[in-house]
Amino acid sequence: MAETCVICGKEKKIMMADFPLSEEDKEERICPTCNRRLKNMLQTRDPGVFRQEQNYFQSMFYQSQPSDHAKEMLETYFEIGKSFTGEASLDQLVRKETLKQKREEETAFEEALGSFMITTESGFEGYRIKRYLDVIFEDGILGTGLSLSFKGLAGLFASSKEGNQEIEALIGELKKTMKTRLLHQAFQLGANAIIGLDYGTAITEQASTLLVSAKGTAVEIEPLL
């Protein structure tokens, strides 16, 4: 845990307790005072109280050095707070804005899928790789419901025709889900293609589960002139 409050810089040794910066970030910690005032700013519908708490946190930008994450979060609150009238709390406005952004991102993602390209090879004919962005991974665990007393995948799929078909179908569905997650990762990186897509499958015999992995490289491609 942090040794100081990531907003006001108060040292942990003189803090009676500490609290997570947000629901999403439980690693960075804040002091009781910042926690109380942050809740006030998020939950109040009184414009006077809201401005008072906002001014307190704005002053932290000059009196202390908030962490990058804390600064980014507060700046987001300040921006959304410009529309604060008291009809809804800042917390409600933030949740509404977050939902709006997610919908916009999903719409943009769905539109991008129409031209997104994927290959198991190292490139695409007629295209050049403009940027290599990152190697991306996804892992999944599938319970087979079987007692795996044999060795390897060959033994698994030789167990019975019915069991074979069921497990193949489950693996296929898991691979589809993992592929969609890889596409999301690539899209968020600014890619328009994935190269070197590869799946791996392994058995954890004692746990009667299958481990399925997927990886690829997110890239930006453009047509050859």
| Domain spans, the chain | 12-103, 117-223
Contact 109, 192 (CB under 8 A): no
pLDDT of residue 209: 76
In this structure, what is the dihedral angle of CA atoms 41, 47, 48, 52, given to the nearest 10 degrees? Answer: 30
- Looking at every residue in the chain, the average pLDDT score rounds to 84
Partners of 200 in the beta sheet?
Answer: 213
State the greatest distance between any 2 C-alpha atoms of the chain, in Å, as a whole number.
72
3-state secondary structure of 91: helix
Query: pLDDT of 146-198, one tens digit each?
Result: 444 444 455 555 555 565 677 778 788 888 889 999 999 999 999 999 999 99
What counts of helices (H) and strands (E) characterise the chain?
Answer: 6, 6
pLDDT of 56 higher than 50: yes
3-state secondary structure of 99: helix
Query: pLDDT of 25-34, one tens digit each?
Result: 788 899 999 9
Does domain 117-223 match CATH 3.40.50.300? no
Give the range with max mean pLDDT: 92-96, 112-116, 206-210, 217-221.
217-221
| CA gap 193, 127 in Å, rounded | 11
Shortest CA distance to 201 belongs to which of 117, 144, 121? 144
Query: pLDDT of 109-148, one tens digit each?
Result: 888 888 899 999 999 999 999 999 999 999 888 765 544 4
**Mean pLDDT over residues 55-79, rounded?**
89
Tokens encoding 135:
């190697």
pLDDT of 220 higher than 50: yes
